[in-house]
């Protein structure tokens, strides 16, 4: 069974950093592009970043570009999101998501349960 | 970047009603359009991809149509378990933008 489990969220002061992780199981991790999506309290879904299956390509939403870095370790079936210079508006549930086929342009068929990041002084 | 809009932002309907949600892209995205359902306090769930393909396990009362810039999600007969927020998303290229969502509840 395909499974994604996020971790690493918490309460952090503005300007600080957090590293989020997403552990995958039940599929060939190195064959799929992966995404981070976030949802601020009471708000809609916001796409954050994507990384290709081999880690050679990545893309970011303008709202996080230059502050967040997506990466993956295919030997450990784990996706990461390094979040730096955190702001109050980064407060959200962060989900990792897998696309439904090999490649870049596919919908997200599997989502983790999310990890909550709260940026507050 | 391509912007995604949805209408209405919310709607109230009765059990058995036919419900239609519209999604519009500011540029042609061909059929690279997905619909997700998010129930309160739950994780988003993929309903439809490539604009009209039903994800495995999704009830047949859900259907999608459209291509290019205009898309529709239809629930043919609304059921109590369909109370949720529905999001469209473009995925032809980055950024993989979501629409603002349509909240569906009962009258």
- A12-23 pLDDT, tens digit per residue, is 999 999 999 999
The predicted structure's pLDDT at residue A77: 98
Number of alpha helices (DSSP H) and beta strands (DSSP E) in chain A:
0, 11
pLDDT digits (tens, 9 = 90+) for A43-63: 999 999 999 999 999 999 999
With a cut of 90, say whether residue A100 has pLDDT above it.
no
The predicted structure's pLDDT at residue A43: 98
The predicted structure's pLDDT at residue B107: 86
A88-106 burial by CB neighbour count: b if 16+ within 10 A, else e? Answer: eebbbbbbbbbbbeeebbb
Phi and psi torsions of A10, nearest 5°: 165, -170
With a cut of 90, say whether residue A102 has pLDDT above it.
no
Which of B50, B87, B95 lies at the smallest CB-CB distance from A45? B87
* Residues 27 through 46 of chain A touching chain B, CB cutoff 8 Å: 35, 37, 44-46
With a cut of 90, say whether residue A103 has pLDDT above it.
no
Interface test with A, best of B52, B96, B97, B100 (most A CBs within 10 A): B96
Subunit contact A108:B43, Cβ cutoff 8 A: no
The predicted structure's pLDDT at residue A104: 83
If you measure CA to CA, which chain B residue comes closest to A46?
B98
* In contact, A40 and A26? CB cutoff 8 Å: no
Which residues on chain A are in Cβ contact (under 8 Å) with B93?
104-105
Q: Report DSSP state, residue B52.
A: T
Which residues on chain B are in Cβ contact (under 8 Å) with A6?
none
- What length is written for chain B? 107
The predicted structure's pLDDT at residue A28: 95
Q: What angle do CA B62, A36, A88 make, to 5 degrees?
A: 110
Tokens 């997506």 found at: A70
Distance from CA of A59 to the nearest CA of B (A): 7
- What length is written for chain A? 121
Distance CA A108, CA A98 (A): 5
A90 falls in which pLDDT band (50, 70, 90)? very high
Which of A61, A106, A114 lies at the smallest CB-CB distance from B43? A114
Helices (H), A3-119: none
Distance CA B107, CA B90 (A): 30
In the structure encoding, which two tokens stand for residue A16, read together?
């600080």
Which residues on chain B are in Cβ contact (under 8 Å) with A104?
93-94
Distance CA B100, CA A87 (A): 22
- C-alpha distance across the termini of chain B, in Å: 37
With a cut of 90, say whether residue A36 has pLDDT above it.
yes
pLDDT in tens, chain B (107 residues): 999 999 999 999 999 999 999 999 999 999 999 999 999 999 999 999 999 999 999 999 999 999 999 999 999 999 999 999 999 999 999 999 999 999 999 98
Subunit contact B87:A44, Cβ cutoff 8 A: yes
């Amino acid at each position: 069974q395909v499974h994604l489990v996020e971790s690493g969220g918490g309460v952090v002061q503005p300007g600080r950093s957090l590293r989020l992780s997403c552990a995958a199981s039940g599929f060939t991790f190195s064959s799929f592009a992966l995404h981070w999506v976030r949802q601020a309290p009471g708000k809609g879904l916001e796409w954050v970043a994507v990384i290709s299956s081999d880690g050679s390509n990545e893309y970011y939403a303008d709202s996080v570009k230059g502050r967040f870095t997506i990466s993956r370790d295919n030997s450990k079936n784990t996706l990461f999101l390094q979040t730096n210079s955190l702001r109050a508006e980064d407060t959200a549930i962060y989900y990792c998501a897998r696309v439904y086929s090999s490649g870049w342009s596919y919908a997200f068929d599997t989502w983790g349960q999310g990890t909550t990041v709260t940026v507050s002084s | 970047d391509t912007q995604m809009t949805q209408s209405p932002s919310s709607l109230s309907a009765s059990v058995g009603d036919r419900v239609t949600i519209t999604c519009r892209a500011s540029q042609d995205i061909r059929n690279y359009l997905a619909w997700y359902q998010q129930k309160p306090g739950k994780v988003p769930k993929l309903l439809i991809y490539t604009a009209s393909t039903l994800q495995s396990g999704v009830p047949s009362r859900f259907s999608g149509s459209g291509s290019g810039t205009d898309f529709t999600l239809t629930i043919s007969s609304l059921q109590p378990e369909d109370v949720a927020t529905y999001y469209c998303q473009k995925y032809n290229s980055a950024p993989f933008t979501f629409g603002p969502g349509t909240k569906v509840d009962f009258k």
